[in-house]
Amino acid sequence: MKSISLAALAFLVLVLATGAADAHALLDRAEPRVGNRVAAPPREVTLWFTQNIRPVFSSITVTNAAGERVDTGKAQVRGNQMSVPLRVGGSGTYHVNWHVLSMDSHTTNGNFTFQVGQ
Ligand SMILES: [Cu+2]
């Protein structure tokens, strides 16, 4: 009996863990695209997530090749989409860091880069 209940418990834990992982807001795509090169400095960065996110605790920071913040700090959230306007920041590698709070109250974060210029 004990081994059966342990197996049932293990199965339940697996199901719960898998369900929770599915429910997190993960980065679906971005513009400029992750790892991509664009000719001119973009005027904004937009991220799309795998579920809707909450505006209050969600943010994006963007730094240019010199490590300077080029985002305005005023991210806009609509549904599963978050975007932030950028100041012109020259060419080179840009770093994007994002933090979001999804509707299921889980926080996730991540980062990626894109290239500007030749
Ligand atoms: Cu979640």
Name beta bridge partners: 96: 62, 112
Domain locations along the chain = 2-116
Which of 27, 74, 29, 25 lies closest to 54, judged by CA? 25
CA of 58 to the centre of ligand 1 (A): 14
Q: Is the pLDDT of residue 1 over 60?
A: no
CA of 29 to the centre of ligand 1 (A): 18
CA 95/CA 63 separation, integer angstroms: 5
Cis peptide before 32 (omega within 30 of 0): yes
CA of 96 to the centre of ligand 1 (A): 22
CA of 52 to the centre of ligand 1 (A): 11
CA of 18 to the centre of ligand 1 (A): 10
- Which residue matches tokens 């909450």? 54
- CA distance between the termini of the chain: 67
Q: Does domain 2-116 have CATH number 2.60.40.1220?
A: yes
pLDDT for 15: 47
CA of 79 to the centre of ligand 1 (A): 16
- Give the pLDDT confidence of 27-76 residue by residue, as tens digits: 999 999 999 999 999 999 999 999 999 999 999 999 999 999 999 999 99
Which of 66, 65, 68 lies closest to 92, judged by CA? 65
